[in-house]
Amino acid sequence: MPNKKIDKPEPGKVYSLTGAPGTNCIANGNTWADSEFKEKKKKSENEKLANSFGLELSDFSEDGADLDELKEIMEGN
């Protein structure tokens, strides 16, 4: 018989106990592992600017010169 892992919370981790319908949380019947809270990476100012035009940061040059130029145009410089 295979060794079945027991679903239980682990010390030092943060879990979502409640949440909106469809969210991974204990109250919605998800496992502890699925309900673990993971902080989302914050977007940089450059990424926010690119996204405001419906673009991704990767759509701009690697050195960011074209993105800097766009900023200057938007600021009226």
55 and 35 in a common domain: no
Whether 6 is in a domain gets the answer no
Instruction: Print the domain residue range for 27.
Output: 12-39
69 and 50 in a common domain: yes
Residue 50 CA to residue 56 CA, distance in Å, equals 6
Q: Which residues are within 8 A (CB) of 68 and not within 5 positions of it... i.e. 6 or more apart?
A: none
Report residue 73 as tokens: 């145009």
pTM summary value: 0.49
70 and 49 in a common domain: yes
* Counted domains in the chain: 2
Whether 25 is in a domain gets the answer yes
Whether 61 is in a domain gets the answer yes
- Residue-wise pLDDT for 11-63, tens only, equals 999 999 999 999 999 999 999 999 999 888 888 888 888 888 888 888 888 88
